[in-house]
């Protein structure tokens, strides 16, 4: 059927057709179909496609009006093969699209709803040239969503070896994100040659889909990639994994590694390295460190400590058999001792008066730590004049020699704007319990991380017992499940007394282990990046 042409075949969903009487004219049926296309759950799908286009634009997949996104409108009363299709238009600024800019098509490609034209300088809307290819993926693979990306990774990976007809890669963790694949599987994606017009790709595209039944993507050389999935979540997840793998392959090629068979148990690769670098071992060392404190639950003591004699207040607490103590994490005294031994001066900077600061660091759960401190400053971190006064007082010529440590991101930014180095250190703790008895909040597995809300999290006891499970969401969201990383997280909490654990699939972390496949350790002597002590 020719795209965009009206069909005499009934394309109104079955449950709506039953409402049509036999005497209705084709015009009336067409109106019913158009009404259906503008109501019954379609708007939500239009809004979703609009949101995805904005997100994919940020990822560089649909730049320059290229690329397209299409999603089927879920309807539990209709088989997937008969569900409507919402599709982004062609030749438009994808990051500026709104739900009303989308096309609505029947399952066989008949245009049911066309977006309205916009005033100059916008072009008249037109249906994507990808439509025939999208329809083939919907028809042959019974897909629920199809994504066409012009991401630079998908283009470059087909240019590295011009005669290559397939993209192959293995021994990469992100392969597990592709439907029907595991870590030990080799991922194979067909590559077809580009044409002047996308509609001319239909034959080679169809052949590739049929010839590679396990693949959920087709690469087009010097062009981009088509990716599909059972649902929009599956298609999006796989698209992210595919682009990650394409990017990894390009980077491995730049490193001189054979990326079709990346290092695993059965492959050894080598790469030239630069040796004999002369490093300045003192580079990046600060002359002094300021610690900004905002101690929870003691602000009510500030006025009292500044107005009453310290010994009277302490006597009052002791008479009531209370202990007033500043509780610190285990790494604080160790860091203070190390900095002190290294000759680095450490100061406390807070909105509390100096007497409060001195009193609190005199009475900590590690004893009196004032011997490691060179002074106390009172001020407002958001007032840059406070930092200027500090520079004059401590006699530092270059503000960059000062490292300001705080748990407040705004303070760190203000400190950095004043010329100092800003560092953020955050840890949530319940001081009524020991570190080993703290509850654990954990993100679920197999979900769209950027769309999560607090209600989606798991809560576990310190020994891994699930205390709170997130509620299931409607289709196409999958039933929530606790992360497979949980046992590893628990070991880090148990052995290292950690307060937080992060598991990252960052491509840098992956590639750095690939460069030397026999390496059992990653070592760095010194870098220009300052890591907190």
Query: 269 labelled as ligand-binding?
Result: no
- Residues 6 or more apart whose CB falls under 8 angstroms from that of 101 comprise 50, 88, 89, 92, 115, 125
Distance of CA 452 to the CA centre of its chain: 11
Six-digit token pair at 7?
A: 């069909």
- Under DSSP, is residue 365 helix (H, G, I), strand (E, B) or coil? coil
The sign of the CA dihedral 481, 484, 488, 491 is positive
Measure the CA angle with vertex 494, ends 491 and 498; round to 5°: 95
- Residues 6 or more apart whose CB falls under 8 angstroms from that of 216 comprise 141, 178, 179, 180, 227, 228, 229, 238
- Under DSSP, is residue 467 helix (H, G, I), strand (E, B) or coil? strand
- Which residues make beta-bridge pairs with 528? none
Q: What is the number of other CB atoms lying within 10 angstroms of the CB of residue 481?
A: 13
Query: 223 labelled as ligand-binding?
Result: yes
Query: 150 labelled as ligand-binding?
Result: yes
**Assign residue 246 a region: left if phi > 0, alpha if psi is -120 to 50, beta otherwise?**
alpha
- What span, in angstroms and rounded, lies between the C-alpha atoms of 271 and 514? 10
Give the pairing type, strands 217-220 and 224-229: antiparallel
Q: What is the number of other CB atoms lying within 10 angstroms of the CB of residue 464?
A: 15
Give the ranges where 120-231 is alpha helix by DSSP (H). Answer: 131-141, 152-159, 202-211
Contact of 69 with 130, CB cutoff 8 Å: no
- 173 belongs to the catalytic site: yes
Sheet (strand 440-442) strand order: 440-442, 458-460, 466-468
- What span, in angstroms and rounded, lies between the C-alpha atoms of 170 and 154? 17
Length of the chain: 533
The active-site residue out of 100, 173, 193, 207 is 173
Query: 53 labelled as ligand-binding?
Result: no
- What span, in angstroms and rounded, lies between the C-alpha atoms of 258 and 78? 47
Q: What is the number of other CB atoms lying within 10 angstroms of the CB of residue 298?
A: 16
The candidate with the shortest Cα–Cα distance to 194, out of 163, 222, 154, is 222
Annotated binding-site positions: 130, 148, 150, 223
Annotated binding-site positions for Zn(2+): 148, 150, 223
Instruction: Give catalytic residues, as residue numbers.
Output: 173
């Amino acid at each position: 059927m020719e795209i965009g042409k009206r069909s005499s075949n009934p394309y109104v969903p079955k449950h709506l057709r039953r409402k049509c009487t036999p005497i209705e004219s084709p015009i009336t049926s067409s109106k019913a179909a158009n009404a259906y296309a503008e109501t019954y759950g379609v708007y939500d799908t239009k809004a979703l496609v609009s949101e995805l286009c904005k997100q994919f634009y940020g990822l560089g997949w649909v730049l320059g009006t290229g690329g397209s996104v299409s999603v089927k409108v879920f309807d539990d009363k209709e088989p997937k093969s008969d569900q409507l299709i919402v599709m982004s238009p062609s030749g438009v600024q994808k990051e500026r699209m709104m739900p009303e800019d989308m096309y609505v098509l029947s399952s066989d490609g008949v245009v049911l709803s066309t977006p309205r034209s916009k005033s100059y300088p916008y072009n008249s809307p037109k249906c994507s040239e990808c439509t025939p290819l999208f329809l083939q993926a919907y028809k042959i693979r019974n897909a629920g969503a199809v994504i066409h990306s012009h991401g630079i990774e998908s283009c470059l990976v087909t240019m590295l070896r011009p005669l290559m007809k397939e993209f192959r890669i293995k021994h990469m963790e992100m392969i597990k994100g592709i439907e029907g694949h595991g870590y030990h599987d080799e991922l194979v994606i067909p590559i077809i040659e580009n044409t002047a017009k996308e509609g001319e790709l239909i034959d080679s595209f169809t052949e590739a889909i049929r010839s590679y039944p396990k693949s959920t993507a087709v690469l087009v050389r010097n062009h981009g990639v088509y990716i599909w999935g059972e649902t929009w979540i599956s298609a999006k997840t796989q698209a992210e994994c595919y682009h990650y793998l394409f990017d990894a392959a390009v980077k491995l090629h730049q490193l001189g590694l054979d990326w079709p068979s990346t290092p695993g148990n059965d492959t050894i690769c080598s790469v030239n390295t630069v040796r004999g670098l002369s490093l300045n071992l003192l580079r990046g060392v600060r002359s002094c460190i300021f610690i900004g404190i905002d101690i929870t639950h003691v602000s009510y003591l500030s006025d009292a400590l500044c107005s009453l004699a310290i010994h009277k207040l302490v006597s009052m607490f002791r008479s009531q058999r209370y202990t007033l103590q500043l509780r610190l994490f285990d790494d604080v005294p160790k860091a203070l001792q190390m900095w002190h031994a290294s000759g680095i001066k450490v100061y406390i900077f807070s909105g509390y008066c100096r007497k409060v600061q001195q009193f609190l660091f005199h009475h900590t759960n590690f004893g009196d730590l004032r011997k490691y401190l060179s002074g106390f400053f009172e001020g407002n971190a958001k007032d840059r004049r406070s930092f200027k006064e500090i520079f004059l007082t401590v006699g530092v010529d270059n503000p960059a020699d000062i490292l300001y440590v705080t748990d407040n991101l705004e303070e760190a930014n203000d400190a950095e704007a004043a010329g100092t180095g800003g560092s953020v250190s955050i840890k949530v703790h319940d001081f009524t319990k020991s570190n080993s008895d703290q509850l654990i909040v954990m993100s679920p597995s197999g979900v769209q991380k950027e769309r999560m809300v607090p209600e989606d999290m798991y809560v576990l006891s310190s020994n891994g017992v699930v205390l709170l499970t997130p509620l299931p969401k409607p289709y196409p969201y999958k039933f929530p499940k606790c992360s497979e990383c949980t046992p590893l997280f628990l070991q880090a909490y148990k052995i290292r007394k950690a307060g937080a654990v992060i598991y990252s699939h960052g491509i840098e972390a992956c590639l750095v282990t690939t460069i030397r496949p026999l390496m059992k350790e990653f070592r760095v002597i010194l870098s220009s990046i300052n890591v907190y002590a």
